[in-house]
Structure 1
Amino acid sequence: MRALPLISDRSPDDVLAWRPDGPVSVGLYLSQVRSLADRLPDSRWIVNLCEDRYHFAVLLGACALSGRVSLQPSSQSAQTLQQLEAAYPGSIAVTDDPGVSSASRMIPLPALDALPVHTDANMPLIPEDRTVAILFTSGSTGSPQPHAKTWGKLVANGQAEARALGLIGQSRVLVGTVPVQHSYGFESTFLLALHGGCSFWSGKPFYPQDLADALSRVPAPRLVVTTPFHLASVMASELPMPPVDRWLSATAPLSAELAARVEAASGAPVHEIYGSTESSQLATRRTCHGPAWTLMPGVRLEQEGDITCAIGGHVEGKVPLSDLIEVLPDARFVLHGRHADMVNLAGKRTSLAYLNHQLCAIEGVRDGAFYLPRDDAEDRVGRLVAFAVAPGLDRQTLLAALRHRIDPIFMPRPLMLVEALPRNSTGKLTRQALEQLLEARAPAREADAG
Structure 2
Amino acid sequence: MKTPPVVSELVTRVTEKARSVGVMWRAGLLPFPRLDEGVRSLVLTSTYGPIAGAVRIAARRNPMDTGLVDERGPLTFDELERKSNALARAWAGRGVGPGSSIAALCRDHRGLVLTMLAANKLGAALLLMNTGFARPQLTDVAAREKVRVLVYDEEFTDLLSGIEGVDRYLGWVDDPAATGGVTTLDELIDGSDDTAPEAPPKPGGLVLLTSGTTGTPKGAPRPKISGLDSAQFLDRIPLRVGEATYMGAPLFHGTGISQFILSLALGNTVVVRRRFDPEEALRGVEQYGCTALVLVPTMLQRIIDLGPEIIGKYDTSSLRIIFLAGSALPPDIGNRATEIFGPVIHNLYGSTEVAVAAVATPEDWGKAPGTVGRPPVGCRVALYDERGARITAPHVTGRVFVGSGLAFEGYTDGRNKEIIDGLLASGDVGHFDEDGLLFIDGRDDEMIVSGGENVYPIEVENLLVEHPDILEAGVVGVPDDEFGQRLKAVVARASGSTLDADEVRSFVKENLARYKVPRDVEFVEALPRNATGKLLRDELTS
> What CA distance in whole angstroms lies between the structure 2 residues aligned with 1:94 and 1:83?
17
TM-score under structure 2 length normalisation: 0.71
Question: Which residue number corresponds to residue 166 of structure 1?
Answer: 238
Unaligned runs of 5+ in 2: 1-42, 172-184, 390-397, 410-422
Shift of the 19–349 alpha-carbon distance from structure 1 to 2, 3 Å rule, reads same
Q: Deviations over 1:172-197 (max 9, x none)?
A: 32212221111111112x21222244
Shift of the 374–278 alpha-carbon distance from structure 1 to 2, 3 Å rule, reads farther
Question: Which residue number corresponds to residue 216 of structure 2?
Answer: 143
Contact 2:477 2:486 in 1 (8 A): yes
> 420-429 or 218-227: which moved more?
218-227
Q: Where does 1:237-276 land on structure 2 (aligned, <5 Å)?
A: 237-238=306-307, 239-240=310-311, 241-243=314-316, 244-245=318-319, 246-267=321-342, 269-276=344-351
> What CA distance in whole angstroms lies between the structure 2 residues aligned with 1:370 and 1:329?
28
Question: Which residue number corresponds to residue 367 of structure 2?
Answer: 289
The alpha-carbon deviation at position 143 of structure 1 amounts to 0.8
Shift of the 373–207 alpha-carbon distance from structure 1 to 2, 3 Å rule, reads farther
Q: Which residue identity is paired with 2:367?
A: H
Question: Which residue number corresponds to residue 214 of structure 1?
Answer: 284
> What CA distance in whole angstroms lies between the structure 2 residues aligned with 1:157 and 1:261?
32
Find out whether 1:59 has 2:121 as its counterpart: no
Question: Which residue number corresponds to residue 49 of structure 1?
Answer: 105
Question: Which residue number corresponds to residue 380 of structure 2?
Answer: 300
Contact 2:209 2:220 in 1 (8 A): yes
Contact 2:248 2:272 in 1 (8 A): no
The alpha-carbon deviation at position 99 of structure 1 amounts to 7.0
Among 287, 300, 303, the alignment partner of 1:231 is 300
Shift of the 78–92 alpha-carbon distance from structure 1 to 2, 3 Å rule, reads farther
Shift of the 206–403 alpha-carbon distance from structure 1 to 2, 3 Å rule, reads same
SS in 2 for 1:210: helix
Question: Which residue number corresponds to residue 398 of structure 1?
Answer: 504
Contact 1:172 1:221 in 2 (8 A): yes
The alpha-carbon deviation at position 38 of structure 1 amounts to 2.1
> What CA distance in whole angstroms lies between the structure 2 residues aligned with 1:76 and 1:173?
30
> What CA distance in whole angstroms lies between the structure 2 residues aligned with 1:86 and 1:148?
16
Find out whether 1:107 has 2:165 as its counterpart: no
Find out whether 1:416 has 2:522 as its counterpart: yes
Question: Which residue number corresponds to residue 475 of structure 2?
Answer: 370
Q: Deviations over 1:288-313 (max 9, x none)?
A: 33236121221123554344432243
Q: Deviations over 1:229-281 (max 9, x none)?
A: 12222122112233151211112222333222212222351111110001112
Q: Where does 1:7-156 land on structure 2 (aligned, <5 Å)?
A: 7-8=53-54, 9-10=57-58, 11=61, 12-40=63-91, 42=95, 44-74=100-130, 75-97=132-154, 100=157, 105=166, 106-109=168-171, 110-111=185-186, 114=190, 116=192, 118-120=194-196, 130-138=203-211, 141-153=214-226, 155-156=227-228
Question: Which residue number corresponds to residue 262 of structure 2?
Answer: 192
Shift of the 229–285 alpha-carbon distance from structure 1 to 2, 3 Å rule, reads same
- Structure number with greater Rg is 2
Shift of the 108–363 alpha-carbon distance from structure 1 to 2, 3 Å rule, reads same
> What CA distance in whole angstroms lies between the structure 2 residues aligned with 1:392 and 1:329?
41
> 325-334 or 93-102: which moved more?
325-334
Between structures 1 and 2, the one with greater strand share: 1
Question: Which residue number corresponds to residue 486 of structure 2?
Answer: 383
Q: Deviations over 1:75-100 (max 9, x none)?
A: 34211211123313454321133673
Q: Deviations over 1:349-389 (max 9, x none)?
A: 331110101111122011111012369xx9x9532211001
Corresponding residue pairs, total: 426
Shift of the 94–431 alpha-carbon distance from structure 1 to 2, 3 Å rule, reads same
Shift of the 294–35 alpha-carbon distance from structure 1 to 2, 3 Å rule, reads same
Shift of the 39–235 alpha-carbon distance from structure 1 to 2, 3 Å rule, reads same
Shift of the 76–31 alpha-carbon distance from structure 1 to 2, 3 Å rule, reads farther
> What CA distance in whole angstroms lies between the structure 2 residues aligned with 1:26 and 1:53?
15
Shift of the 126–340 alpha-carbon distance from structure 1 to 2, 3 Å rule, reads farther
Question: Which residue number corresponds to residue 444 of structure 2?
Answer: 339
Q: Which residue identity is paired with 2:299?
A: H
Identity within the alignment, %: 19
Find out whether 1:202 has 2:272 as its counterpart: yes
Shift of the 180–433 alpha-carbon distance from structure 1 to 2, 3 Å rule, reads farther
> What CA distance in whole angstroms lies between the structure 1 residues aligned with 2:355 and 2:300?
23
The alpha-carbon deviation at position 138 of structure 1 amounts to 4.4
> What CA distance in whole angstroms lies between the structure 2 residues aligned with 1:206 and 1:292?
24
Contact 1:71 1:133 in 2 (8 A): yes
> What CA distance in whole angstroms lies between the structure 1 residues aligned with 2:531 and 2:303?
16
Unaligned runs of 5+ in 1: 439-450
